[in-house]
Structure formats: C-alpha cells, structure tokens
C-alpha cells in the first residue's frame, strides 16, 4: 500500500441544535461562521466555522446519516483542544455561557495552564495557554505519580 501525506485534518462534530451551538462557539470560543448548508427540511447539514487558524465543521443531529449528537449517545469520547492567549478568561466566560466545569484551570506539568469544560451540547473542550516551552525530557521529569480525582493537580 502506498501512503499519501495528508493535506489536512479537521474536526466535524454533531450537535442537537446547530443554531445554539454556533452561537455558543462564536461567543465562547471566538468562532466565525463561514459557510452553511441546510437540508430542504431546514435541518443544518453542516456549518463551517473558523476557529483561530483551524476549521470546525458542525452538523445538526441527522440520524439517517449517522450524525448522532452526544445528548443522544449519552456522552462523547472525544476532546477538542483549544489554545488561547488567556485561558482563565475564556474558561470563566465559557462557564458563564453554560459550559460545565470538568477540570478547573491549573498549571500543568507539561508547561500549560489548562482546564476542561463540557459545552452545553455535550462536547469536551480542553482550553489551554502555553506557559513554558519544555523539551520532552523536562516534561518526563515532571510527570506526577498519577491523576487524582480526575485531575493532575495537587
């Protein structure tokens, strides 16, 4: 088999309410809607959002297409990573907008200030700000014994 070098990797998430999700991601995470396509019945087939330099595709739940939202599945095993200049302000704002704290913001051993929220549509987001540029060996020396209470802090 021959391997191609991929040209890009994007994220495509499914939500129960596309309009509410676009409003949340725009307000909480600074996303900008670029393109929207709807089915004839009005359901949102996909919205393309620009988030920083990257792209996030979002579809409304369309079960015929196996586009099933976390609220239907009972959770999501995926986390989206969002790097920001000021994680504390973004984290607080996301929670004010209706996100749920899964892990409060704290200094992490890998050199980031980092926290996790679950958005109102059931997707997990880790929010971070880079603090130190560490070499892999330096991070390895700092790894704590193990996570406690779902976090690495303490």
Partner 1 sequence: MSSASGSPALTTAGFQVLLALASGHSHGYAVMGFVDQLTDGQVRLGPGTLYRTLARLVADELVSESEVSDPSAPHDARRRYYQLTPLGAQVVRDEAALLARLVDAAHTAGLLDGERRTT
Print the binding letters for residues 3-42 with partner 1: x by CB under 8 A, - otherwise: -----------------------------x-xx-------
Shorter beta-carbon distance to partner 1: residue 50 or 97: 50
DSSP percent split of the chain into helix, strand, coil, nearest 5: 25, 40, 40
Q: Minimum distance from CB of 153 to partner 1 (Å)? A: 25
Closest to partner 1 by CB, 84 or 95: 84
| 42-61 positions binding partner 1, by CB under 8 A | 48, 50, 52-53
> With 0-12 CB in 10 A as exposed, 13-18 as middle and 19+ as buried, what is 83?
middle
Rank residues 52 and 147 by Cβ distance to partner 1 and give the closer one.
52
d(CA 53, CA 75): 27
| Residue 117 token pair | 């929220």
DSSP string, 53-88: TEEEEEEE-BGGGTB--HHHHT--S-EEEEE-S-HH
- x/- mask, partner 1, residues 75-114, rule CB under 8 A, reads --------x-x-----------------------------
Which residues are at the interface with partner 1 (CB under 8 A)? 32, 34-35, 48, 50, 52-53, 83, 85
């Amino acid at each position: 088999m021959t391997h191609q070098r991929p040209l890009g990797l994007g994220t495509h998430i499914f939500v129960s309410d596309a309009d509410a999700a676009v409003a949340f991601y725009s307000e909480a995470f600074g996303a900008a809607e670029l393109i929207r396509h709807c089915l004839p019945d009005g359901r949102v087939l996909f919205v393309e959002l620009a988030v920083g330099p990257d792209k996030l595709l979002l579809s409304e739940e369309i079960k015929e297409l196996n586009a099933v939202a976390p609220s239907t599945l009972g959770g999501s095993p995926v986390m989206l990573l969002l790097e920001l200049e000021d994680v504390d302000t973004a984290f607080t704002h996301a929670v004010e907008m209706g996100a749920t704290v899964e892990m409060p913001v704290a200094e992490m051993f890998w050199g980031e200030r980092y926290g996790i929220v679950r958005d109102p549509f059931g997707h997990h987001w880790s929010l971070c700000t880079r603090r130190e540029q560490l070499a892999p060996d330096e991070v390895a020396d700092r790894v704590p014994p193990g996570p406690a209470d779902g976090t690495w802090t303490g």
